A = this chain, B = another copy of it.
């Protein structure tokens, strides 16, 4: 296996059969040791974070499969914190699609003049460009079309999928009395040209609260996934 990409929280390897392996690392985004799913830097390392992320991702990807939502997931090797996935091409160098149920994080940093911290947002979707250098700027459907990053019809499909997936995750969390504040998803196109969910769904890319307290990524896995 050849490593083809080194990410902040995952490395990517190419398999001989044409598929890929995502190796979940113990690195987490944040700053100065404090976890922040909205951050663009590795801020801390927690032993077991990679495996916990993979456990929850596998749980959600299998749940999505039951709901007929396409993802890049093929199989997981928990002991090695590795997930096997189908090839997918990203939109441009990658987009992040955020579904917001509460006004927090970058939403408040941008629109705090018109919103109050934590207010309900009813699954509001926005898209940002993956660009560390420019701080992941938000981008409109019109700009995405003009810059040939994604077509308007692909954009609409991506937004519909985002709302469906986020609603499933939100409902699943609610079963354990956990409130989903926001979640960040990534999409790509498989070899047939269909839009599929890629990357992961774990505590590392969402904000979850229980009893008014933030639930850490490792706690979230423990609360959601049954012990085997």
**Which chain A residues have a beta carbon within 8 Å of chain B's beta carbons?**
92-93, 109-115, 121-122, 124-126, 129, 131, 133-134, 137-143, 146-149
A122 contact set on B, CB distance < 8 A: 146
**In contact, A113 and B126 (Cβ under 8 angstroms):** no
**In contact, A140 and B140 (Cβ under 8 angstroms):** yes
**In the complex, what residue of chain B is closest to A135 when comparing beta carbons?**
B110
Judged by DSSP, the binding face of A is mixed
List 7 A-B pairs, Cβ < 8 Å.
A110-B134, A111-B137, A112-B134, A114-B148, A121-B146, A124-B143, A125-B142
A115 contact set on B, CB distance < 8 A: 147
Interface centre among A122, A126, A133, A140 (most CB of B within 10 A): A140
The copy count of this chain in the complex is 2
Assembly CA distance A112 to B124 (angstroms) = 26
A141 contact set on B, CB distance < 8 A: 140
Assembly CA distance A54 to B39 (angstroms) = 45
User: With A121-B146, A126-B143, A146-B121 as given contacts, are A114 and B92 in contact (CB-CB < 8 Å)?
Assistant: yes
Given contacts A110-B139, A126-B140, 16 further A-B contacts (CB under 8 A): A93-B113, A110-B129, A110-B134, A110-B137, A111-B134, A111-B137, A111-B139, A112-B134, A113-B131, A113-B134, A114-B148, A114-B149, A121-B146, A124-B142, A137-B138, A138-B140
**In contact, A146 and B134 (Cβ under 8 angstroms):** no
Assembly CA distance A138 to B121 (angstroms) = 18
